[in-house]
Each structure stands twice: as structure tokens, then as C-alpha cells.
Amino acid sequence: MSGGTAEGTSLSGLTAVVTGAGRGLGRAEALELARLGANVVVNDFGSTARDGTAAGGPGPAEETAAAIRAAGGSAVAHAGDVADSASAGELVTLAVETYGQLDILVNNAGILRDRMIFSMSDEEWDSVLRVHLRGHFATSRAAAIHWRERSKAAGGPIHARIVNTSSESFIGGSPGQPNYAAAKGGIVALTTSCAAALAKYGVRANAIAPRARTRMTDDIFGERPSENAGMDPLAPEHVAPLVGYLASPASDGVNGQLLVVHGGMVAVIGAPQVVAKFDSAKEAFTPSELDETLSPWFADHPAGYANTGILALRRGEAG
């Protein structure tokens, strides 16, 4: 698949797994990685085609893989549940058996079950945490085992990348998505843990918070702009190049980061900061002393941990 890429961002000879890649954002990411030269293992759950037809025809994963092959790239499909440990392991095995090794893992698979906290069922909570957070864990664990073994065999670091998918919802405190926000916050914590634990093997683990119009988010973002308006700022194609960069050798100095991306804009989110510190007068605080100390401070600083200002970031505007 030709792309005319710079050497530092070329993925030629590398193999990537992209989960949830039958549609939307994952599909755009898989196509971009293939354009940059990677072999791609395309994962999606089930065998229902993109047009909604039942099993019997090609499923969404195979449709994306076929599109990659039609453009001159190399891809195989995998229809499976990424939150299932055996299925996650099969993804790594498929990459190794087909292409010799795995170099890049892009975790994108997810679902929505939006509801206010007082209306949310156990199933709505568990299913979202399972697909997003457990799904990221299961595939990352399987890939990490493979990379640790390869690094030991090579006697040093190898090229390996994890790109996880978080969301601004956990930063902004999305009120109608307690399950989704919790999962996406957990994914950032998982990412930073993996970044620290796996760096010595050559693995770089980063997370993106994409704002993209997909089948899952159409109801949230409303109508698409007209074709005459130019490229949709929420098109998944705005996100895919960042995934390609983070998967490439050029990103070797990027690890444990969270980047917001959409509409021609990338924003690097900084680490949490201590904004105030208070010491007790004696060895330990009492409730009354905490009242005297904290209540006046919070009266002057009512904003909580959530940062809704990030949701207003746009291309061309100062961060």
C-alpha cells in the first residue's frame, strides 16, 4: 500500500493489531496503518456486515481487511471478543503465525450504554467496563507477554507500541456516562502503568482521547456537515494519523502520554497537579480544623477535579 511516508513514520515490515476496526474510528486507523506499510490484523466482534445483513456474508472485520488488501496492503480478519482472555491471546497468535511477530497494538473496541447514575443497571455498568477496560487489559497483557519474550531473546529493547483509546468524558465528568467515564479513566491509568512497566523492553504505551463521529457517537454529535463544507472536523480520518505516528519509530520518545485529538488539532494533557496543600496544627487533623482550613479555600476555588475547558479545545485556538 503506497503512501510516500517519511522514513521515521514508516511502518513497513511491522505488524499491527487494531481492535474494533470493522467500522468507524478503528477502521480508519487500520486503513492508515496499512497505508503506512504495516500488516494489519483487523479485529471486530461478530459477523454482522456493515450494512446490517446477518451472518453468512463478510463481517465488519473482514470487510476492512478486504479494503486493505484491495488497496495493495496485507491484512487478515479476526472476529472475536477482546475482553475474553482466550480471544485476546488469539489475536497475538494470529499476528505471529501470519506475519512472524506483533509490533503494534491499537485498542479501540468499545460500546456505549449511556444512562444517569440513578438509572443505570448492573448490566449497563458491567458491559461497558468489560469491553473497554477489561478489553484493553486482556489484549495488552497478551501483547506484553509476547514482547517481553522477544526482548529477552533479542537481548535488549525492541520496537513495540500500545495505543489505547480513552476519552475526554473522564476529564470533563460526563454526567450521563458514569460507566464510560470510569472505563476511560481506568484506561489512562492502565496506559501509564504499562508505560512504566514495559519501557525497558522497548514498549511505548500512550493513550488518545479522540473526538470522532462514528456509528456509536452519531446521536451525540448530531448531523454531519454538508459535503460543500469541507472535511468534517469529527471525521475519524483526523484521528488516524496520530495513531500512525504513535505506532511508528518516530514516537520513541513518547511514552505514558494522553493526547486529545480531533479536527486538525492535537493537545497534550498534562499530569495532575497539586493545587493546594495544608498541614495540621498538631500531629493529626480534627474535623473542626479541616472545616476551618478547607471550607474557606473551597469557597474561593469551587471548581472540582473535572476540567470541562478541555471540551472547548478547537484547531486554531489557544489551549
Strand order in the sheet with 104-106: 75-79, 39-44, 15-18, 104-106, 160-165, 203-210, 258-262, 265-269
- Tens of pLDDT, residues 207-227: 999 997 755 554 554 555 556
Mean pLDDT over the full length of the chain: 90
Rounded CA separation 282/249 (Å): 54
- Tens of pLDDT, residues 182-215: 999 999 999 999 999 999 999 999 999 999 775 5
- Block residue for cell numbers 497539586: 274
Q: Find the mean pLDDT for residues 122-132.
A: 98
Q: Exactly one of 99, 180, 201, 245 is catalytic; name it.
A: 180
Give every CB contact of residue 267 below 8 A, 6+ residues apart in sequence: 259, 260, 261, 310, 313, 319
Distances (CA, A) of 181 to 80, 83, 168: 24, 18, 8
Bridge partners (DSSP) of residue 206 are 163
Q: Exactly one of 151, 167, 169, 248 is catalytic; name it.
A: 167
State whether residue 193 is helix, strand or coil: helix
215, burial (CB in 10 Å: exposed 0-12, middle 13-18, buried 19+) = exposed
* Per-residue pLDDT, 231: 67
Q: Find the mean pLDDT for residues 15-39.
A: 97
- Tens of pLDDT, residues 227-236: 655 667 789 9
Q: Exactly one of 87, 169, 184, 251 is catalytic; name it.
A: 184
- Block residue for cell numbers 500531629: 283
* Per-residue pLDDT, 4: 41
What is the pTM assigned to this prediction? 0.89
Active site residue 184: yes
Active site residue 201: no
Active site residue 152: no
